Structure 1
């Protein structure tokens, strides 16, 4: 049975509100949680950008939920710092943290002034960082000079069991590559046919029976009109496609290009419906595909009513049918 998680979106909401809502999600039957990790929001309309690693300590202390976080090492974070942060949380809260690594987006990572590379180079940099983090988790003293430089670094505070190192992918090619070194896969919702291809590529690349995790962007509201309007207002950037999400640097520029996004476009990237039964059907189909965790990102601003409605009407039936 898939565990159903609540996604804490730091680029949209204040850390104080996210902590309050995550506690309510735990009370409402959500099994786990996941945190974004942004320096800038996608849009000036979102307008938040709390430091996720500070927040995670508070959230893990305030609840008993397991948590995941996705970060991009090699730019604003040196991999040694990510390893130290994750190891500290995993020592304090054993078995409750997984760490996903992605190749990053310019809107968050280009702030350091480094040249923003193409996808192949970003993946190569990601792989170096992942190997450094793994070695540090294993207690090794690490020296490496390549795309990333690290000299005689060793973690002295480590958990008995290191956090699961998850690879993030949206394409089959990246998923297959991740299968060779990641402990698990995280991807985002797409058509069932496309998701099956991504999962198969991960398995074929060496993923075997490793865990798979899905992040689902959805927009629910009491009316169809509000659900649609909230998706366009808060999450239009997700529908832009191509390399835009990886290469655009400023929230203002995302707002400009997002004006091109129409209703049909947003419905291809966000599950938009006022019908709880429709959301239940969508999630049940994903659960049947074998995902170990499905994290629900309510992109609209109705967070508390979303948590309570899904906790009452959707989670019990998903668990009963799992």
Structure 2
């Protein structure tokens, strides 16, 4: 059936509370989970940024479903370290971990002090990193002198079957490039025609595996509360869009650009709703664009009310609406 997953946002929920939320998401009926991998939040109001890789070990050890992470090898992380992290989690939790690889965002990567490359160079660096990670997961010793230098690297503790490497893409060009190496695709919600172009570019280039979408939403018992949560925690969404999103290094700059975001803008940027049945209709309409599954991201800091509602109302409504597809 269609996969309905839960997205764990490290940017605005402390890691201990986020772990409890991930466990609760499994109990209420979500099929799987994934998390972000940030060094900094998008803005000061969010105020958190736990280390995804240590958190993933705890999350996988205290749940039974699959987990993924969206990460960026090449600058903040050397790809050999990413390969070692993937291999360790894959060995400890067979078949339950995947990693989506992208070219990164300055808000996380600038901390190294290295120059932030333009998008085309970041994409080339990602391809070099993917080759290194694949070879290391296959047990090879890797020495390379491309955009990422590697000297006699070898990952010694590895699972028999390497975890899936998924392409993270928001443009058709990136999706088409990922088709050459990825075991699936993940993108973020946007205009329907844009999402379909991303899926189409991936499939037309020979891309295999499931295509899934991350959906940002804000739910509360009343409409006013749902709007307030969205404006307080996700107002950067309508204010800054790719490619600008990728190149801003300071959370304060995101806050500055989002200062004038109003209710109309926030409603255009994410699903803001207080009515579970209508929210289920809207989510199902997004999945119907051609996706095999979705990961739902409630942008509020307190995840408990959303998860309770999801278990009693939202997930059952989605099961009625979504087609039977391979997850």
For residues 69-148 of structure 1, the aligned pairs below 5 Å read 69-148=69-148
Query: What's 2:13 paired with?
Result: 13
- Counterparts of residues 283-294 of structure 1 (less than 5 Å): 283-294=283-294
Whole-angstrom distance in 2 between the partners of 1:58 and 1:117 = 34
Q: Which residue number in structure 2 is paired with residue 254 of structure 1?
A: 254
1:54 paired residue number:
54
Match in the other structure for 1:167: 167
Counterpart of 2:220? Answer: 221
Higher mean Cα deviation, 280-289 or 300-309?
A: 280-289
Normalising by structure 2, we get a TM-score of: 0.95
CA contact (8 A) 2:199 2:290 kept: no
In structure 2, stretches of 5+ residues that fail to align are none
- Alignment size in residue pairs: 321
TM-fit CA distance, 1:315: 1.1
Alpha carbons 1:76, 1:111 under 8 Å: kept: yes
Residues 3 and 293 of structure 2 are in contact (CA less than 8 Å); yes or no, is this contact kept in structure 1? yes
Q: Contact conserved, 1:2 with 1:290, CA < 8 A, in 2?
A: no
The whole-number CA distance in structure 1 between the counterparts of 2:253 and 2:286 is: 33
Q: Please identify, of 263-272 and 35-44, the stretch whose mean Cα deviation from structure 2 is larger.
A: 263-272
CA contact (8 A) 2:168 2:187 kept: yes
TM-score (norm 1): 0.96
8 Å CA contact 2:196, 2:290 repeated in 1: no
Shift of residue 242, structure 1, vs aligned partner:
4.2
Residue in structure 1 matched with residue 236 of structure 2 by the alignment: 237
Looking at structure 2, the residues matched to 255 and 289 of structure 1 have their Cα atoms a distance apart, in angstroms, of 32
Deviations 1:190-232 (A, max 9, x none): 122221111111101121x421111010011111111112111
Of 186-195 and 26-35, the range deviating more from structure 2: 186-195
* Aligned Cα root-mean-square deviation (Å): 1.3
Gaps (5+ residues) in structure 1?
none
Residues 239-318 of structure 1 mapped to structure 2, 5 A cutoff? 239=238, 240-318=240-318
Deviation at 1:290, TM superposition (A): 4.1
Does the 8 A contact of 1:14 with 1:48 survive in 2? Answer: yes
Per-residue deviation, 1:263: 2.2
Q: Any residues of structure 2 matched to 1:24-39 within 5 Å, and which? A: 24-39=24-39
Rounded to whole Å, the distance in 2 between the matches of 1:236 and 1:171 is 22
Distance in structure 2 (CA, Å) of the matches to 1:51 and 1:224: 33
